[in-house]
Amino acid sequence: MGYTDKDWLAINTIRILAADATFNANSGHPGAPMGMAPVAHVLFNKFMKFNPKNPNWVNRDRFVLSNGHGCMLQYALLHLFGYALTLDDIKNFRRVDSITAGHPEAHDTPGVEVTTGPLGQGISNAVGLAMAQAHTAATFNKDGFPLIDNYTYCFLGDGCLMEGVSSETSSLAGHLQLGNLIAVYDDNHISIDGDTNCAFTEDVVKRYESYGWHVVIVDDGDNDLEGIEKAIKECQEVKNKPSLIKLKTTIGFGSLQQGTHSVHGSALKADDIKQLKQKFGFNPEQSFVVPQDVYDQYHKHAAEGAAAEEEWNKLFASYATKYKAEHDDLARRLTGALPEGWEKNLPVYTPADAAVASRKLSEIVLTKIEGILPELVGGSADLTGSNLTRWKGAVDFQPESTGLGTYAGRYIRFGVREHGMGAIMNGMAAYGTIIPYGGTFLNFVSYAAGAVRLAALSQVRQIWVATHDSIGLGEDGPTHQPIETLAHFRALPNCMVWRPADGNETSGAYYVALTSKHTPSIIALSRQNLPQLEGSTVEKTLKGGYVLHEAEGAQVTLVSTGSEVCICIDAVKELAEKHNIKARVVSIPCFEVFDAQSKEYRLSVLPDGIPSLSVEVMSTMGWERYTHEQFGLNRFGASGAYKDVYKKFEFTPEGVAKRAIATIDFWKDVPNIRSPINRAFQQII
């Protein structure tokens, strides 16, 4: 307590930096930073523990700006505290190749924990960060060694509250009793369309109480620094509930337009900035000014954070002497590397092994590797028995009081909340000690598209166990049968979409997914049984695509994925026996990985001089990149037993053979058929 003019100087410095930067960029959102500068000042200086010189210290308090459009607030704070973000970076706000993008990007900007901007994501990431904290603490803390006790703080606005994803994750956070999560709701009554009265009149306090949150109201977020401090303290003391502070603020505080939506999303006018500076005792003719006194205050707190980390390092060293195995495990996890030799646990198969659904093969992988990969923590969006995501004997991640598990448990009951699950996985991965996975039907990964996109953009390792991956799910019908889903996520940069054809490919998919530190993976898995294929190996799978069945003098290449590969193998027999045609078969379980191979290799798989036909029982979009002709399903599926549905759409050896023959016929007059691998120029990537 005991706030002085020095505090207000700092707060107003932040406000003016936000106004200057958005004016200079002629773009951006000054309103939220100006309104939230007071709470940010109090939170960061009085409560938060972090070391700007090491933004990766594991026990730092986490801060998430869910209303990411207010990023100038965060950039200003990072700069003032001495993170690697200079005043020049702030002058380059929203310019090409700056580290101060239009919304905070975790992989670009030191000190930004997660990438936000798309509304509702940040608060959901914060739930994931808090879950990861609770789990990591339960796993590693010992008597006298409170290694992990950080808080997760989050700022959010009405936009975040309106988005469904925040409802999903807030409900789950309440259920999970995440006492280390404290969110500050910027209740400024303004959204882009004007007053929130026009669309958002729910009782937020009551809603969050219904989720099981502790809620505090601060009536004067513009001036009452003591009240803000008291509220945060109160929330810290509530140990078995997440907390929401409803903070009434004035958007664009200090501007002539304060309290209106005109300060939300565009720069202040020059005159307005002048009066703002005068009002706050700054020179109206100068821009981007930080009084030395403000740097001093903030650097002092930064030094306290550095000291705290030093203390922690000592604690961790002492922990090593007593709990060597745990110490080494945590230290390893923080590097993102997997334990030496872990991959020996991946199952391998021969054609003599039984036919198994690839969702079951996925379960076998999880079961075999969970012991050596304790960082693997995941669950399902209420489809555990269908996704087969839970290894036998797994303990649920639950608060003890539920009697259903513990925080050390590694199996998460996400509920029917796919989008929330994705956003939580992003937060969990960002914490640094966990590799998250989540199960749902492939079709419903689309519900989580917003979160998957941010995983790809912000380079987060996570695994989607996406079962029931085609019309092969059968009776549930078109509402559940993906058609466009693979094309969607294949088109998403830095997202690996896998569709393994058998056991070896499933192991290979997991190998690449787990060892790709900066890429999310979606593994599409069948409901129906698939035979173990002659010619598949884990090693070949790692190339993303390979020749499964070679044939001297072949007239056509059949190119396929997942459950259709074995149909292609049968089509080879059909073609040979009934039509005296030789065909080769290529399996491409992952476009993204195959594309990364050398051109020479890719041409060996899809060579010149022979026409090719892709076979995949969904949208053909994207297959033209690899094959001359495409057999797919550019319509919705049908409800029925899976074999009947495959037959209806001619995804049978005969149906494939018929199209292979058409392909050969159609291309027979073309001399020197070019493989589609050949391209006139390189793509920008």
Q: Which residues are catalytic?
A: 418
The two tokens of residue 157 are 């606005």
Least spacing, CB of residue 80 vs its own copies, in Å:
22
Map the footprint of Ca ion across residues 174-213, applying CB under 5 A: 188, 190-191
Whether 15 contacts 82, CB under 8 Å: no
Map the footprint of its own copies across residues 64-103, applying CB under 8 A: 68, 94-98, 101-103
Least spacing, CB of residue 237 vs its own copies, in Å:
23
Place of tokens 């589609």: 676
Q: How many chain residues interact with its own copies (CB under 8 A)?
A: 139
Separation of alpha carbons 451 and 118, rounded Å: 9
Least spacing, CB of residue 273 vs its own copies, in Å:
19
Q: How many chain residues interact with Ca ion (CB under 5 A)?
A: 5
Map the footprint of its own copies across residues 100-139, applying CB under 8 A: 101-103, 105, 115-120
Find the Cα–Cα–Cα–Cα dihedral 293, 295, 297, 303, rounded to 10°.
-150
Region binding its own copies by CB under 8 A among candidate stretches 30-38, 48-56, 327-335, 445-453? 445-453
Q: Which is nearer to Ca ion, 61 or 158 (CB)?
A: 158
In the list its own copies, Ca ion, none, the entry touching 188 (Cβ below 5 to 8 angstroms by class) is Ca ion
Amino acid at 436: P
Helix (H, G, I), strand (E, B) or coil at 157: coil
Least spacing, CB of residue 70 vs its own copies, in Å:
13
Q: Which of 89, 158, 229, 309 binds Ca ion (CB under 5 A)?
A: 158
Measured N-to-C along each axis, helices 292-322 and 5-25 cross at an angle, to the nearest 10 degrees, of 100
Separation of alpha carbons 535 and 546, rounded Å: 10
HSE-CB for 580 with a 13 A CA cutoff: 0
In the list Ca ion, its own copies, none, the entry touching 517 (Cβ below 5 to 8 angstroms by class) is none
**3-class SS shares of the chain: helix, strand, coil, % to 5:** 45, 15, 40
Phi-psi region of 501 (alpha: psi -120 to 50; beta: other; left: phi over 0): alpha
| Helix extents (H) in 591-636 | 591-595, 599-605
Region binding Ca ion by CB under 5 A among candidate stretches 80-88, 158-166, 347-355, 605-613? 158-166
Counting contacts by CB under 8 A, is residue 656 touching its own copies?
no
- Distances, alpha carbon 681 to alpha carbons 606, 607, 617, 677, 678, in Å: 18, 18, 30, 11, 9
Q: Which of 3, 13, 17, 28 binds its own copies (CB under 8 A)?
A: 28
Least spacing, CB of residue 404 vs its own copies, in Å:
6
Region binding Ca ion by CB under 5 A among candidate stretches 153-161, 484-492, 557-565, 612-620? 153-161
Least spacing, CB of residue 478 vs Ca ion, in Å:
23
Separation of alpha carbons 510 and 522, rounded Å: 10
Map the footprint of its own copies across residues 134-193, applying CB under 8 A: 158-160, 162-168, 171-172, 174-175, 191-193
In the list its own copies, Ca ion, none, the entry touching 212 (Cβ below 5 to 8 angstroms by class) is its own copies
Least spacing, CB of residue 82 vs its own copies, in Å:
24
Whether 383 contacts 412, CB under 8 Å: no
Map the footprint of its own copies across residues 461-520, applying CB under 8 A: 474-480, 483-484, 487-494
Region binding Ca ion by CB under 5 A among candidate stretches 77-85, 149-157, 165-173, 572-580? 149-157
Q: Which is nearer to its own copies, 274 or 658 (CB)?
A: 658
Counting contacts by CB under 8 A, is residue 437 touching its own copies?
no
Whether 157 contacts 32, CB under 8 Å: yes
Helix (H, G, I), strand (E, B) or coil at 368: helix
Q: Which is nearer to Ca ion, 186 or 502 (CB)?
A: 186
Terminal C-alpha separation, the chain = 52
Map the footprint of its own copies across residues 361-420, applying CB under 8 A: 380, 382-386, 396, 398, 402, 404, 413-420
Amino acid at 623: W
In the list its own copies, Ca ion, none, the entry touching 131 (Cβ below 5 to 8 angstroms by class) is none
In the list Ca ion, its own copies, none, the entry touching 470 (Cβ below 5 to 8 angstroms by class) is none
Counting contacts by CB under 5 A, is residue 262 touching Ca ion?
no
670, with CB counted inside 10 A (0-12, 13-18, 19+), is exposed
Separation of alpha carbons 34 and 262, rounded Å: 13
Separation of alpha carbons 165 and 276, rounded Å: 37
In the list its own copies, Ca ion, none, the entry touching 414 (Cβ below 5 to 8 angstroms by class) is its own copies
Least spacing, CB of residue 549 vs its own copies, in Å:
21
Q: Which of 87, 146, 149, 210 binds its own copies (CB under 8 A)?
A: 210
Counting contacts by CB under 8 A, is residue 207 touching its own copies?
yes
Phi-psi region of 432 (alpha: psi -120 to 50; beta: other; left: phi over 0): left
Counting contacts by CB under 8 A, is residue 662 touching its own copies?
yes
Region binding its own copies by CB under 8 A among candidate stretches 45-53, 281-289, 360-368, 632-640? 632-640
Q: Which is nearer to its own copies, 534 or 644 (CB)?
A: 644
Q: Which of 27, 223, 236, 515 binds its own copies (CB under 8 A)?
A: 27
Region binding its own copies by CB under 8 A among candidate stretches 148-156, 305-313, 499-507, 623-631? 623-631
- Distances, alpha carbon 414 to alpha carbons 86, 87, 396, 481, 570, in Å: 40, 42, 11, 22, 40
Torsion angles phi and psi, residue 348, rounded to 5: -120, 155
Region binding its own copies by CB under 8 A among candidate stretches 49-57, 58-66, 514-522, 661-669? 661-669
Map the footprint of its own copies across residues 334-363, applying CB under 8 A: none
Whether 639 contacts 478, CB under 8 Å: yes
Q: Which of 157, 179, 482, 545 binds Ca ion (CB under 5 A)?
A: 157
96 CB neighbour count, 10 Å cutoff? 6
Q: Give the residue among 52, 96, 56 at the shortest CA–CA distance from 74.
A: 52
Place of tokens 């003599």: 352
In the list Ca ion, its own copies, none, the entry touching 625 (Cβ below 5 to 8 angstroms by class) is its own copies
Amino acid at 101: A
Counting contacts by CB under 5 A, is residue 166 touching Ca ion?
no
Q: Which of 14, 21, 25, 346 binds its own copies (CB under 8 A)?
A: 25
Least spacing, CB of residue 432 vs Ca ion, in Å:
31
Q: Which is nearer to its own copies, 254 or 422 (CB)?
A: 422
In the list Ca ion, its own copies, none, the entry touching 95 (Cβ below 5 to 8 angstroms by class) is its own copies
Q: Give the residue among 231, 291, 301 at the shortest CA–CA distance from 5.
A: 291
- Distances, alpha carbon 463 to alpha carbons 183, 365, 496, 604, in Å: 27, 13, 9, 30
- Distances, alpha carbon 163 to alpha carbons 169, 186, 498, 552, in Å: 11, 15, 30, 57
The two tokens of residue 184 are 């500050």
Q: Which is nearer to Ca ion, 157 or 420 (CB)?
A: 157
Counting contacts by CB under 8 A, is residue 608 touching its own copies?
no
Q: Given the rule CB under 5 A, which residues bind Ca ion? A: 157-158, 188, 190-191
